[in-house]
Structure 1
Amino acid sequence: AGPLTEALVRADARDVRAAVRHRDGGEVDLLLRAVPYTDAEARPQGFVLMAGRPPEPGSLADMELADRAFAGSPVAMSMFDREAHYLRLNRTACRLMGVPEEELRWRAYEDSVPDDHTSRAFRQHLLQVARTGEPVCYESYTRAPASTREHAWNIWMWPIEAEPGTVSGVAIAVFDGSEQYWARQRLALLNEAGARLGTTLDITRTAQELTELVAPLLTDFVSVDLLDSVLRGREPAPGPVDEAVVLRRVAHASITAGTPEAAVPLGAIDVYPPESPVARALVHGRPVLSGPGQPDFQRWFELDPLRARRAREYGANSIMAVPLRARGSTLGVAVFIRYARQEPFTEDDALLAEELAGRAAVCVDNARRYTREHSTALALQRSLLPRELPGQAAVEVASRYLPTDSLAGVGGDWFDVIPLSSLRVALVVGDVVGHGIHASAAMGRLRTAVRTLADVDLPPDELLTHLDDMVTHLPPDEDPATELGEEAGVHGATCLYAVYDPVSHRCTVASAGHPPPVVLRPDGTTEVVALSTGPPLGIGALPFEATEVELPEGSLLALYTDGLVESRHRDMDAGVALLREALAVPAASLEAGCDTILRTVVAERPKDDAALLLARTRVLAPDRIAVWDVPADPAAVPEVRREAAARLVAWGLEDVAFVTELVVCELVTNAIRYGREPIHLRLIRDRTLLIVEVSDASNTAPHLRRAHTYDEGGRGLLLVAQFTQRWGTRQSTNGKTIWAEQALPAG
């Protein structure tokens, strides 16, 4: 009586099976029903109890129930014989087939459906179950004969056994699993987005990755338009846009080859009127769904005849505009359009598209930030590198700087050409560790320091020693890299400093951890200058050594950074060998020679930036130089002065004779009075300069000072400074040289 009691407590009418004891002592199965009854005022009064025998399994009543359950099931169900002929179909299956059961019964399955892959697979599975007696379950994404769109169907097939072990037919149940199918597809698409979006720091490529990801899985056509400011790397305004927007098409994709649906070509400006769904998505900062028959859809196409024509031509039936937003700013918009797929976009599609657009927007913003930093670093570096190499009497020069195309950004490679006294020239090349703005800033700092030390006219080894000392004692908080949170800066930088003298034809080179230069001699032979390479800058405690080589007129000197000769697939020695080969190739000019070297030596995608400086040596003709040995006797000054004047007459430089005689007199007198023998006077004539040099064995440098009114001396160097273009002192291992330059009259 337990189930019956429960039914009475619930006061509902239902059938309850119960075992009751018969008066003969045996048990009888009854089907009991307790039906409540009420009075006229609907107050419960009691129950009417009805009892009967339950139907026997397989009885007519039982079969009727099963038949009704089969016919009315919301699941499409059918039965086939062993040869795939229809036996039974319920109403749901008939609706999917589009014909009544009577027309299909006893027909072969293959005669009722198109002959395609889906139908052949269905029949193959059916016959397999009939043959093996083993159930089969599989999924098929297809359109049923009477359906207007494709669905994901979960198909179950199992054997019908008249007797155990004897298959007489196959029963089939078909469930519509589209909701679960698309949920899995969305999850798979999100998972794939993590691997496919943002593989580069290129804005356009990232946008293209988004379009390739969603077409055709989510949409039939998709376009990505970005604000022009984003493409230039500028910071977008925070929040959604609040006016008619002008964007640039950067990517689109389609299920049709060539994207013929696109109304705007790649790279062109696209304008969305405020009434359009796209503009509303940008203004409100959330996805907007629209389609034919909706007011915004119609107004948009009324204002854009070309888009309207394309929409009619391809039968666009649903549109979804999704803003690309990252870090609180709107960067652009992605527009999804369906025309081949009949079902419109849903809210679930909008959620998925918004998630994908958000991920793509972050990648686009990262690429934008990289573009901005890369452009800033490149502009900074180019502003710090010499824009035009100054013309030199000593050398003819040409250069190239090749920034890397890797994600690391602009590096710190640099070069310089510095005029020195007496027509000499300093050739410098260096490499700062790291990339980006910090490397450019460190490079600028190092280049400024080298120029400052070069003005002192130090020998190469001493200059690098002073430079290393400066870097070693640089406080960490003053290193540009440290300020930006980087590990690299001027510490660990490399530098090569070479000084070429066109009078002696000799080049003095010193290196701080930098690759040695390569020389192409006039006879066509190449060699790597044998240097004693010192440690990189900032190591300290180790000396630098200078190497002197003779360079005949017309020799070609190549200074470079490691990015030129080293790559992922090639070591430095192999790269230097290629450089030597390329340097030996005849070229019409140094500029053409630079191009040849870059084509031959530089890898297709260099991992590091590269700098190249070529210098072809010149020599000064002997008739442009005059040298005298001067006795350490004040009485020798007048004679030296007369001989210098005579040489000026021979050169046709009488116009500068007065100043030159004055300078010669003052500098020779200074050397005799304060220096040590041997003393030498040298005049050097260039096209635009006349240089006076006086050398002696003393290392004591003169000091310019203002003489008092009653002082009998001390005005010599002041006169030299006032009457010449510039003057100075340089030290050597054998003493010092005081020099002064005068500009020669034009013509």
Structure 2
Amino acid sequence: MTRWSESAIEAQLPPETVLSQMEMAVVVCDRFSNVIYGNAFARRLFGFDGDEFIGRSVLSLGIAEEDHAQAAELARHVLKGGVWEGTFSNIRDDGSTVYTRAHAVPLRHPSGAIDGIVIFAREAFRSNQRDQERYGLLERVGERLAGSLELATTLRQMADTLVPQFADHCFIDLFSGDRLIRRVSRHAGGWSPPPGTWAEVDEPVSYPPGHHAAKAMQRRDAVLVEDMAQARYAGPGQAADDMGVTSAISAPLLARGELLGVMTLALSNLSKRPDPHYDGFDRDLVGAIASRVALAVDNAMLFETERETALAFQKDLLPGDVPPRLDGMQIAWRYEPARPLESHGHGIQTQVGGDWYDVIPLSAGRVGLVIGDVEGRGARAAAVMGQLRAALRAFAQADKPPAEILRELDEWTRTLSPARRSGRADEDGPRAPLVSCTYFVYDAWSRVLLFANAGHDPPLLIQDGQVTELEFDSKGAMLGVRGSGVGGEILFNEESRELKPGATLVLYTDGLIDRRPKADGDYYTRDESRRMVREAVAAAADGDVEAVAEAAFEAVPGDIDDDVAIVVIRTSPEELAVEQRTFAAEPIMVSEARRMAAQTFASWGMEPEQAELACLLVSEVVTNVVLHAAGSPAPRPEPALLSGAGLEDEESLLDEELWDLGMELGRREPQVKEFTLRLRRGSESIWVEVFDSDLRLPRIRSAGETDEGGRGLYLVDQLATRWGARPTTDGKAVWFELPI
């Protein structure tokens, strides 16, 4: 070992000795932002005599109240592994203010886990107190303005930064059209001006000729009034000596060559400063601040215009504010767009998302329900959401099963791929939007819920006083996965549940349970959020569907940083009126079906004219089914292709010849054909369904003058509110709707 290394070891000092001699404050906090260590320089910098700040919140270091939100953001950011740097205003025990430049890093355990926060701080300026305030103010203004794109938040933060550190009064007036409107009126110490003195917030402002604010806008430069006692302005309530104002500066708010408004700062007898007057240096400083404020205001106004446009666009693509009235179920829904995130180091989330939901009336009173989320944000996500909703509505009208609907929607989603549209299907990278959704079909008369899932969170089910998740046998892959180059064949499984009377489903998108901030700067986990939502929904289960939706939305504290869509469906506690009977598909049964319909309609209290019309249409649909059942050819075996002289080929040919000759050998017994007539009654309509085993869907054809048939479906089309046909597992169903 060399002599140098030996002396180095002898000179090695313990960490505490090194930290105590540092000309920089070192503060260590745990994960809950409580101080667990502070070196000697930290005591001197923050004005402490001893260790009284140990074990207390980092806010106990005298961080000014207007910087508390910034301190909370620091903790959140660093505890997630980031670093943070910025300026704080700290108030010492003696009442003096010191601006500190802080740098925060994570405190890591040897395992790599984050145990806390280490903060390094120094005095931002070493000149006199007033210079500290001036230069520190400009830096802090820039930091504050970089954290928001909301106009109201931008103006509020500006006023909080300027009052009382630099001014006793702050006014910000912005033009709305050709009128100047007061947007900020902030005063030190909670003081309020006497009525009629100054315009209130949201009131128009009219400055008299020669007023320093009017001069500032006219000259487009900051105007200083050093001694307000010497200034006089015409007009009521404008005498500065009556208000105790000692000095004022007005600066125009200019952005892109356009005058947005004016900002006025004033000192008064409220001030605790030795000399409550501004000077020329202050005027230049306020001019620089006004330039930054104007740029931030301009950006915020552009952002709000863009956001309002996007929200209006998305609102037009989603269902209206009032859910439809449907038989056998109550519905409430709620959509909340995320607010822009004001975060240091995270960027600002400025755009709406692609959350979507819909309620789709289907045949015979059945209802299609969907909840989903398009991955990403902004205009593309909203546009994809709108196209998805339109496509799903079109697919749903065919009355196909939910799993088949999702397969068609998946194929349609993949057609949105830019690479696929341009024919470059071999390119790497995402090729289609990813979409999670669940599609349900609910029959209120049978209480059967059919559904298929595509990677979406399961809804909550309130039944028998218990709140559980509606279990999915298969979660399914998101729509568009194959189009993004992930996975092979995607299968969507259809499932069914029978809902009990009064059961409630709560459908939601993941914005409800994702990334909600805690008070300590951490975030709730998805499991914690789910638990809180379940508990809130359980507490509100006895209320109406609107109360359940509100309880679900308010369950998890903290601002949302993703859009939230909630749909609540409650089944009827009472059974709905339905009659059903199966008949042989014979002409004589047409009158029997009509007789059953007439008796049922009479028992439901239908008007005779409406009942007669309904019976007429029943006869037409049933007659159509019977005629096609009687006229449908018996199935024939497919002829075998002669690919050789095998035994199977010979037997197949023999069977075909015997069939054609009408011989008894191999003849099948004719199948007895039937049809089922089902009648449903709702609050405003009746539905008639006729089921049979024929797979051919009916269509309207033009009947000639001498044709004996072909007019039945034409009558149904002309006289019914709606009609249609849908495939079933063993045939088809023809249906129509009439008002009552």
Q: Does TM, normalized by the shorter one, top 0.5?
A: yes
Q: Distance in 2 between matches of 1:201 and 1:489?
A: 32
Change (3 A) 1:184 1:478: farther
Q: Does 1:411 align with 2:353?
A: yes
Is the CA contact 1:559–1:613 (under 8 Å) kept in the aligned structure 2? yes
| Candidates 574, 578, 593, aligned match of 1:640 | 593
Q: Distance in 2 between matches of 1:440 and 1:478?
A: 20
Q: Does 1:302 align with 2:231?
A: no
Partner of 1:709: 705
Is the CA contact 1:201–1:366 (under 8 Å) kept in the aligned structure 2? yes
| Candidates 241, 252, 272, aligned match of 1:323 | 252
| Residue-by-residue CA offset, 1:316-351 (whole Å, 9 max, x unaligned) | 2x4321111122222221223345565965544333
| Candidates 200, 222, 227, aligned match of 1:287 | 222
Change (3 A) 1:184 1:542: same
Shift of 1:252: 3.1
Q: Distance in 2 between matches of 1:597 and 1:533?
A: 23
Q: Does 1:734 align with 2:714?
A: no
Q: Distance in 1 between matches of 2:559 and 2:133?
A: 37
Change (3 A) 1:265 1:549: same
1:584 partner SS: helix
Change (3 A) 1:191 1:742: closer
Partner of 1:563: 511
Is the CA contact 2:375–2:381 (under 8 Å) kept in the aligned structure 1? yes
Partner of 1:154: none
Q: Does 1:548 align with 2:499?
A: no
Q: Does 1:421 align with 2:363?
A: yes
Q: 343-352 or 421-430: which moved more?
A: 343-352
Partner of 1:668: 622
Larger radius of gyration: 1
Is the CA contact 1:518–1:529 (under 8 Å) kept in the aligned structure 2? no
Amino acid at match of 1:462: E
Count of paired positions: 537
Q: Distance in 2 between matches of 1:410 and 1:426?
A: 25
Q: Distance in 1 between matches of 2:253 and 2:274?
A: 24
Question: 5 Å matches for 1:86-235?
Answer: 187-214=135-162, 219-229=166-176
Question: 5 Å matches for 1:459-608?
Answer: 459-474=401-416, 476=418, 491-524=433-466, 526-540=468-482, 541-568=489-516, 569-585=523-539, 586-599=541-554, 601-608=555-562
Q: Distance in 1 between matches of 2:578 and 2:128?
A: 94
Change (3 A) 1:186 1:721: same
Question: 5 Å matches for 1:440-455?
Answer: 440-455=382-397
Question: 5 Å matches for 1:26-45?
Answer: none
Change (3 A) 1:687 1:183: closer
Q: Distance in 1 between matches of 2:600 and 2:146?
A: 73
| Residue-by-residue CA offset, 1:110-149 (whole Å, 9 max, x unaligned) | xxxxxxxxxxxxxxxxxxxxxxxxxxxxxxxxxxxxxxxx
Is the CA contact 1:446–1:490 (under 8 Å) kept in the aligned structure 2? no
Q: Does 1:397 align with 2:397?
A: no
Shift of 1:728: 0.5
Shift of 1:227: 1.6
Q: Does 1:354 align with 2:287?
A: yes
Is the CA contact 1:249–1:270 (under 8 Å) kept in the aligned structure 2? no
2:314 partner SS: helix
Shift of 1:368: 1.9
Shift of 1:557: 1.3
Q: Distance in 2 between matches of 1:691 and 1:259?
A: 67
Amino acid at match of 2:444: P
Change (3 A) 1:294 1:460: same
Amino acid at match of 2:248: I
| Residue-by-residue CA offset, 1:539-566 (whole Å, 9 max, x unaligned) | 2441321110011111111111111233
Q: Does 1:248 align with 2:187?
A: no
Change (3 A) 1:260 1:685: closer
Shift of 1:197: 2.8
Change (3 A) 1:343 1:477: farther
Change (3 A) 1:185 1:737: same
Partner of 2:695: 699
Amino acid at match of 2:735: W
1:303 partner SS: coil
| Candidates 396, 400, 423, aligned match of 1:458 | 400
Q: Distance in 1 between matches of 2:289 and 2:267?
A: 17
Q: Distance in 2 between matches of 1:663 and 1:210?
A: 71
- RMSD after superposition: 3.4
Shift of 1:737: 0.6
Q: Distance in 2 between matches of 1:332 and 1:179?
A: 34
Q: Distance in 1 between matches of 2:723 and 2:338?
A: 42
| Candidates 614, 619, 639, aligned match of 2:568 | 614
Is the CA contact 1:323–1:333 (under 8 Å) kept in the aligned structure 2? yes
1:302 partner SS: coil
Q: Distance in 1 between matches of 2:430 and 2:212?
A: 50
Shift of 1:410: 3.2
2:388 partner SS: helix
Shift of 1:528: 2.5
Q: Distance in 2 between matches of 1:621 and 1:343?
A: 78
The gaps in structure 2 that reach 5 residues or longer are 1-125, 342-348, 422-428, 483-488, 517-522, 633-672
Shift of 1:428: 1.9
1:201 partner SS: coil
Partner of 1:336: 265
Change (3 A) 1:476 1:207: same
Partner of 2:717: 721
Amino acid at match of 1:284: R
Pick 1 or 2: higher relative contact order, CA cutoff 8 A, min separation 6: 2
Q: Distance in 2 between matches of 1:652 and 1:209?
A: 66
Q: Distance in 1 between matches of 2:283 and 2:206?
A: 23
Q: Distance in 2 between matches of 1:194 and 1:307?
A: 34
Q: Distance in 2 between matches of 1:546 and 1:528?
A: 14
| Residue-by-residue CA offset, 1:178-237 (whole Å, 9 max, x unaligned) | 9999888755543333323332223233234334445566x54342322253xxxxxx7x
Is the CA contact 2:174–2:183 (under 8 Å) kept in the aligned structure 1? no
Partner of 1:167: none
Partner of 2:303: 370
Partner of 1:278: 213
Change (3 A) 1:215 1:739: closer
Change (3 A) 1:520 1:189: closer
Is the CA contact 1:376–1:437 (under 8 Å) kept in the aligned structure 2? no
Is the CA contact 2:403–2:452 (under 8 Å) kept in the aligned structure 1? yes
Amino acid at match of 2:616: L
Is the CA contact 1:198–1:360 (under 8 Å) kept in the aligned structure 2? no
Shift of 1:690: 2.2
Is the CA contact 2:418–2:432 (under 8 Å) kept in the aligned structure 1? no
Is the CA contact 1:394–1:500 (under 8 Å) kept in the aligned structure 2? no
Partner of 1:10: none
Amino acid at match of 1:321: S
Q: Distance in 2 between matches of 1:319 and 1:355?
A: 16
Amino acid at match of 1:308: A
Change (3 A) 1:180 1:689: closer
Q: Distance in 2 between matches of 1:358 and 1:477?
A: 45
Q: Distance in 1 between matches of 2:472 and 2:139?
A: 57
Change (3 A) 1:309 1:187: closer
1:371 partner SS: helix
1:602 partner SS: coil
Shift of 1:402: 2.6
Q: Distance in 2 between matches of 1:215 and 1:396?
A: 52
